[in-house]
């Protein structure tokens, strides 16, 4: 059996359980392509899976290769594949239930992929899929964001947040973001109309009557967010709704969003990137061997944009 280098963990635990080692090289099955990985995006999902927080929701068989954001080149196509050809550059979000992209090669279903945006490299492309799809689906599929809406985006400088700011501005909405003061100019460059420093200002005292809240924080931030919505508004939460009763009390709606792969949306997102309307922010690029360090940075929070692992040239 052909082999490859991959980062895997054999037991749940701290970042140190991640090891770079030899692993079986996958093959492309029916409806799949084999990708030669150039870069893998790092998301909070990765360390949550590694730590065992999601093992009831995602019961993986160990050892597991984490990482479900990928950019690479098609190495081989499986049976029944007509959408892609060998040598094409693609990016996408992989099935969470399968082996991930912290590896030299990964097998992916064609419905999880789209051609890589032409205007950016593999490092930048690997930062896009999961976070941009989450923002897209939260704002457009769940919230139904319209040009006349005002949206409040929490953790606006983070992975999902910085894409949400740009997508909401592209849609024509008024965009308010919460972030640290150090990220204010960054967010204004992305299109935010207002930035609230969460360390010095309670956002619920600075803003009100918004149509949409995008909550990536949960907890106290979510509880304080209900009161800033106008009646009939909606709070969309990436971590789920902790108190449906609070939504009813404020005469607003609350709905969780669980990101799903969507090739058509990835094509639209790539078009926005190539048109200059959407730009991924990569705060750190680390080699595959430093995956544990990448997890430490992600787990510590306060990451501007995304962290990416470089796998191939």
Residue 221: partners with Cβ closer than 8 Å, 6 or more residues away: 154, 215
Separation between Cα atoms, residue 86 and residue 106, nearest integer Å: 14
Q: How many domains does the chain have?
A: 2
How far CA 96 is from CA of 109, 114, 130, 142, in Å, comes to 12, 17, 11, 21
Report the share of the chain in percent with pLDDT over 70: 100
Average pLDDT, the chain: 96
198-250 confidence digits (pLDDT tens)? 999 999 999 999 999 999 999 999 999 999 999 999 999 999 998 889 899 99
pLDDT of 313 above 80? no
Residue 26: partners with Cβ closer than 8 Å, 6 or more residues away: 34, 99, 105, 106, 107
If asked whether residues 159 and 230 sit together in one domain, one would say yes
Domain that holds residue 191: 131-256
If asked whether residues 45 and 120 sit together in one domain, one would say yes
If asked whether residues 135 and 250 sit together in one domain, one would say yes
If asked whether residues 208 and 142 sit together in one domain, one would say yes
106-156 confidence digits (pLDDT tens)? 999 999 999 999 999 999 999 999 999 999 999 999 999 999 999 999 999
Report the share of the chain in percent with pLDDT over 90: 94
pLDDT of 312 above 80? no
Residue 269 belongs to a domain: no
Terminal alpha carbon distance of the chain: 24
**CA dihedral of residues 48, 179, 270, 91 (deg, nearest 10):** -20
If asked whether residues 111 and 137 sit together in one domain, one would say no
If asked whether residues 52 and 34 sit together in one domain, one would say yes
279-310 confidence digits (pLDDT tens)? 999 999 999 999 999 999 999 988 999 999 99
Residue 272 belongs to a domain: no
* CATH number of the domain encompassing residue 165: 3.40.50.720
pTM: 0.96
If asked whether residues 74 and 103 sit together in one domain, one would say yes
pLDDT of 1 above 90? no
Residue 171 belongs to a domain: yes
pLDDT of 20 above 80? yes
Residue 185 belongs to a domain: yes
Residue 66 belongs to a domain: yes
Helices and strands counted in the chain (H then E) = 10, 15
The bridge status of strand 3-8 relative to strand 150-153 is unpaired
Residue 200 belongs to a domain: yes
pLDDT: is 66 or 1 the higher one?
A: 66
* CATH number of the domain encompassing residue 87: 3.90.180.10
pLDDT of 59 above 90? no
If asked whether residues 111 and 138 sit together in one domain, one would say no
Residue 276 belongs to a domain: no
If asked whether residues 83 and 116 sit together in one domain, one would say yes
């Amino acid at each position: 059996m052909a082999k490859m280098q991959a980062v895997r963990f054999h037991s749940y635990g701290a970042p140190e359980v991640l090891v770079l080692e030899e692993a079986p090289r996958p093959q492309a099955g029916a409806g799949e392509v084999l990708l030669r990985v150039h870069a893998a995006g790092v998301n909070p999902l990765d360390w949550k899976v590694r730590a065992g927080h999601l093992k009831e929701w995602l019961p993986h068989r160990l050892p597991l290769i984490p990482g479900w954001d990928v950019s690479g080149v098609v190495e081989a196509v499986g049976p029944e594949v007509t959408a892609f050809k060998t040598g094409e550059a693609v990016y996408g979000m992989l099935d969470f239930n399968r082996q991930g992209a912290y590896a030299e090669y990964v097998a992916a279903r064609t419905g999880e992929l789209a051609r890589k945006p032409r205007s950016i490299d593999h490092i930048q492309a690997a930062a896009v899929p999961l976070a941009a799809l989450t923002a897209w689906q939260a704002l457009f599929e769940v919230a139904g964001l319209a040009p006349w809406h005002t949206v409040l985006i929490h953790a606006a400088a983070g992975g999902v947040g910085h894409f949400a700011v740009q997508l909401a501005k592209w849609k024509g909405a008024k965009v308010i973001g919460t972030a640290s003061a150090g990220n204010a100019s960054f967010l204004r460059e992305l299109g935010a109309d207002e930035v609230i420093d969460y360390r010095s200002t309670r956002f619920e005292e600075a803003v009100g009557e918004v149509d949409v809240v995008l909550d990536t924080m949960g907890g106290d931030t979510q509880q304080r967010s209900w009161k800033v919505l106008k009646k009939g508004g909606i709070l969309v939460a990436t971590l789920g709704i902790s108190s449906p009763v609070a939504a009813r009390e404020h005469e607003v709606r609350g709905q969780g969003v669980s990101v799903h792969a969507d090739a058509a949306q990835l094509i639209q997102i790539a078009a926005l990137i190539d048109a200059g309307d959407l730009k991924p922010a990569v705060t750190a690029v680390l080699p595959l061997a430093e995956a544990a360090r990448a997890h430490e940075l992600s787990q510590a929070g306060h990451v501007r944009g995304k962290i990416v692992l470089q796998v191939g040239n």
